Amino acid sequence: MAGTHGATLSETATWNAAPGRYDLQQRANEVLGRKEGTTLMELLPPVGWADVATKRDIDALDLNFRRIDDQFKRVDERFKHIDEQFKRVDGRFDRLESQIDERIDARFDAFNASVQTDLRRMQAVLLGTMTTLAVAITGIISIAT
C-alpha cells in the first residue's frame, strides 16, 4: 500500500480507518523521531474519540453492574430459602428413617425373643424326653438283669 511501507497490518488498518492518522504518524516521526512518534501515536486511541468511554458511560455501566449485583443477591436469597427448605425435608427424612429403624429394631427384638423362647422350650422338651428315656432304659436294664 502506498504510504504504509514498513507498517504492521493493524497499523495499516488503523490508518485506513482513520484518515489523517498516517499523516499524523509521519509528522510525529519527523518532529520527534520514529521511536518517539510511534510512542505518541500508541497513546492515542486506535479509533475516534467518539468511541472512547466517558465517565458518564462508566457510571452507567457501574449502575448496570450494581443492578446485576442486586439481582444476584436476590437469587442468592432465593437459594438460601430453597436450602432451608431442603434442610427441613432432610430433617423429616432423618426423623422418618429413625422411626423406621426403631420399628424394625423392635420387630427384630421381638422375633429374637420369640426364637429364644421357642429354643428354651425345645431344650426343656428334649431334656425331659432324654431324662424319660434314660429312666426307661435304666429300668429295662435293671429288669433284664
Are 30 and 68 in the same domain? no
Residue type, 129: T
Domain count, the chain: 2
Are 69 and 138 in the same domain? yes
Instruction: Please tell me the predicted confidence (pLDDT) of residue 74.
Output: 97
Are 71 and 106 in the same domain? yes
Are 78 and 139 in the same domain? yes
Residue type, 63: L
Residue 69, CA distances (Å) to 21, 45, 55, 93 in order = 41, 31, 20, 35
Residue 39 sits in which domain range? 1-52
Are 122 and 92 in the same domain? yes
Q: How high is the mean pLDDT of the chain?
A: 86
Are 107 and 77 in the same domain? yes
pTM higher than the cut 0.85: no
Are 84 and 130 in the same domain? yes
**Which among 9, 7, 53, 45 is positioned nearest to 26, based on CA atoms?**
7
Condensed to tens digits (0 to 9), the pLDDT of residues 50-95 reads 777 889 999 999 999 999 999 999 999 999 999 999 999 999 999 9
Angle subtended at Cα 29 by Cα 50 and Cα 35, rounded to the nearest 5 degrees: 95
Are 79 and 142 in the same domain? yes
pLDDT at residue 131 greater than cutoff 50 = yes
8 A C-beta contact, residue 4 and residue 22: yes
Are 65 and 48 in the same domain? no
8 A C-beta contact, residue 1 and residue 12: yes
Per-residue confidence at 19, pLDDT binned at 50, 70, 90? low
Q: 83-104 burial, b for 16+ CB within 10 Å, e for fewer?
A: eeeeeeeeeeeeeeeeeeeeee
Are 125 and 78 in the same domain? yes
Per-residue confidence at 18, pLDDT binned at 50, 70, 90? low
